[in-house]
Chain A
Amino acid sequence: MNGQRRRIPLWQGHWLGLVLLAATLFAVPFVAALGGQAWVRIANFAILYVFLALGLNIVVGYAGLLDLGYVAFYAVGAYAYALLASPHFGIHLPFWVILPFGAGLACFFGVVLGAPTLKLRGDYLAIVTLGFGEIIRIFMNNLNAPINITNGAQGITLIDPIRIGDFSFSQTSTIFGVTLSGPQKYYFLLVALAILVIMVNMRLQDSRIGRAWQAIREDEVAAKACGINTRNIKLLAFAMGASFGGIAGGVFAAMQGFVSPESFSLMESITILSMVVLGGMGHIPGVILGAVLLTGLPEALRYGIEPLQKAAFGRMIIDPESLRMLVFGLALVLVMRFRPAGLWPSSLRRRELSETTD
């Protein structure tokens, strides 16, 4: 067990790999732009979801707490940004104030919502977190009266983009002779943030806290008996996951320039959870893969379904939009059917699974 757990962090000793990785990451927005800026936007959302999925991975993958209301923290972060950087209240704070504030607020909500659920287990926890997610969304949708805070279902418009001095992320500009469009600039910002969250995830995985989470995931009673303060450790998982959600929300609000409650539906929570599970719970590369695939697949199908159907049947039989989500659903089922531990599970999980005879 112990020998297996010790692993060399990704960034040590693999210089060639790292350089290649960096080069690929750098090339993505330019290669994607050849196919149109839409692909850059898709790449951006993919990274945003990587971010969210890794945040949720702390709660679900590491600590084993099934959270179906993760989108609530995403919403808190997005609304925090929207309210503090838009004409709605006439406040225009810079992003480096709001993003940490949003993260802190989401973290606070994480603890507040986590506290009553500490005693709950498994599916009871799932439904309560789901409830919290819906409660937050419904409040966002209705807090336009008696005092107009969130502007209700109409949402908040004209949110400031992320801006450093005169350098705005939403406009096209030329740096060192390279023309960068708005989405491309956001891409680099998102990659930087994603690298940050990946580092935190990796450091956490093998830290004392990470091991405590794992202990709780495997057997909470035993973990408690071993002297782990399960209450604090669980709250910490909620708080950390929530903070990442809050940051992602802030970036989302800045990127879109508009937020409304419909972006934070239950379906969004379910999608993020699917990314974590489909990729391989608790395994960072797996979760990244899950997020990239589930964001990219529906979009790729948008381009692919029509020619595919024509090739198969010679004409359009079913309108492509209905088929797109159908294929997406089928893919979820099939992947889980043939790779129950996820597409790219951690070696530890895989071993556990093959050993279980239950």
Chain B
Amino acid sequence: MNHVRIPGVLVVLAASVALIGCGKKEEPKAAAPAPAPAAAAPAPKPEMVVKIGHVAPLTGPIAHLGKDNENGARLAVEDANAKKLEIDGKVVKFELLGEDDQADPKTGTVVAQKLVDAKVAGVVGHLNSGTTIPASAIYNQAGLPQISPSATNPKYTQQGFNTTFRVMANDIQQGSVVGSYAVKDMGAKKVAIIDDRTAYGQGLADEVEKAAKAGGATIVAREFTNDKATDFKAILTKIKAKNPDVIFLGGMDAVGGPMLKQIKELGIKAKFTTGDGGCSPELIKLAGPASEGVICTQAGLPVDKLPNGQKFVEDFTKKYGQIQIYSPYSYDAVMVLVDAMKRANSADPVKYLPEVGKTSYDGVTGKVEFDEKGDIKNGAITVFEIKDGKLVTLKSEGGTAGAAAAPEAKK
């Protein structure tokens, strides 16, 4: 019996080696087209394949947002290909490598490494701050530019990496706009704040609290839920007793939808406000008539007000259906990478990385320019109200509000 044991262990190891071996065999196949374009050049114009990585959770509780991000990036890649860009004298064919990180930090680093191995030219992602941050160290070591379309944790760009960028306003920028809007424009004296205890919700709610306090309002209740909850009556009942003028939710539309209905059922009169996570057509779908009068904000300028934006909305809806939340940002993130490659006339990360930082691009979410950390500069924030089942723009705040006219004027 003892003799059986040792070979047994070896069989396992052999099997795992074989497993790894399989990966090895497969790898060259996948990687082959990227570095060797010269061999296959029968046509007059040589082609070059540039791979762009995209990572988001495609399975698990927020898979719907992950797929939305990926679709946005996919559309961008198709649009970029349709333009038949030339870099270094070759026609570029962009290819999107979409990976699933399951919103798990550990899987996030494995897929990040996989993309580095596959020699992508740049990465768009990840969706959550929790996966974006550990992965950013790997991209940084490989010198790959990484643009997150949705991770709002300020720490992402504060790690001292020159490869981290984001096309989405961070919590501080957005929270201060919502908070001051509630106090100044809506005249709220008493504010109740709810957050969903995710990195996003917590960060945003903290900033709103600061801004509302600074504006002279009192925070009468600070309540919490989680991103998987559907029953909010207990905390809402508590809030009702405090009689606030405005309720702010730092959380996603899947939380906001049922919450709005329950607010109505409990007969709460306070106005409901939320950030970009809940500022979506999905919220209107989930809350139905209860969403009337909701005030919410989105980072960037209103998509349908921008010349590129309208086309994006049309193309996206035709192809993939309803926009969830962040697909316009992942679209822009891909376009920013493409734009930087074009300016550097190279798809080599070493050569075009400095160009990413110098980006000045009119995207579907507004003008994209980065500050020295890689955060979007003067990210505009737009305030919406839901009227007759539609998001109606109330106003835009932030530095690019003035610049918004510029691209329109140019056209």
Indicate whether A and B are direct neighbours in the complex (CB within 8 Å). yes
- Is A42's CB under 8 angstroms from B27's CB? no
A to B CB contacts below 8 Å, 26 in the list: A8-B2, A10-B6, A18-B6, A21-B9, A21-B10, A24-B17, A31-B21, A35-B22, A36-B23, A36-B24, A36-B114, A37-B113, A38-B114, A39-B24, A45-B106, A142-B197, A153-B201, A154-B202, A155-B133, A155-B199, A158-B159, A260-B129, A260-B199, A321-B59, A321-B100, A344-B8
Chain A 294-310: CB-based contact to B (< 8 A → 1; otherwise 0): 00100110111001000
Query: Chain B's interface: helix, strand, loop or mixed, by majority?
Result: helix
- Is B130's CB under 8 angstroms from A303's CB? no
- The answer for the CA separation of A17 and B11 in the assembled complex, in Å, is 11
- Is A41's CB under 8 angstroms from B105's CB? no
B117 to chain A: closest CB distance in Å?
A: 3
Residue ID in chain B nearest A152 by CB atoms: B202
- Is B106's CB under 8 angstroms from A263's CB? yes
A77 to chain B: closest CB distance in Å?
A: 15
- Is A296's CB under 8 angstroms from B19's CB? yes
Q: Which residues of B contact A153 (CB under 8 A)?
A: 130, 197-199, 201-202
Whether A353 is near chain B, meaning CB under 8 Å from some CB there, is no
- Is A300's CB under 8 angstroms from B8's CB? no
Whether B203 is near chain A, meaning CB under 8 Å from some CB there, is yes
Further pairs besides A153-B201, A262-B105: 20, Cβ < 8 Å? A10-B6, A17-B7, A17-B9, A17-B10, A21-B9, A31-B21, A35-B24, A41-B110, A154-B153, A154-B199, A154-B202, A155-B129, A155-B133, A157-B155, A182-B141, A259-B105, A300-B19, A303-B23, A303-B26, A344-B8
- Is B8's CB under 8 angstroms from A285's CB? yes
Known: A35-B27, A43-B20, A144-B202. A299 touches B105 (CB 8 A): no
Chain A positions within 8 Å of B, measured between CB atoms, are: 7-8, 10, 14, 17-18, 20-21, 24-25, 27-28, 31-32, 34-43, 45-46, 141-142, 144, 152-155, 157-158, 170-171, 182-183, 252, 256-260, 262-263, 285, 288-289, 292, 296, 299-300, 302-304, 307, 319, 321-322, 324-325, 344, 347
Q: Which residues of B contact A289 (CB under 8 A)?
A: 12
The residue from A35, A157, A170, A325 contacting B23, defined by CB atoms under 8 A apart: A35
B227 to chain A: closest CB distance in Å?
A: 10
A233 to chain B: closest CB distance in Å?
A: 28
Interface residues on B, range: 35 or more
Residue ID in chain B nearest A252 by CB atoms: B106
Q: Which residues of A contact B105 (CB under 8 A)?
A: 256, 258-260, 262-263
Known: A256-B105, A260-B130. A45 touches B110 (CB 8 A): yes
A39 to chain B: closest CB distance in Å?
A: 5
A171 to chain B: closest CB distance in Å?
A: 8
Q: Which residues of B contact A18 (CB under 8 A)?
A: 6
Whether B229 is near chain A, meaning CB under 8 Å from some CB there, is no
Whether B383 is near chain A, meaning CB under 8 Å from some CB there, is no
Known: A292-B12, A344-B8. A256 touches B202 (CB 8 A): no
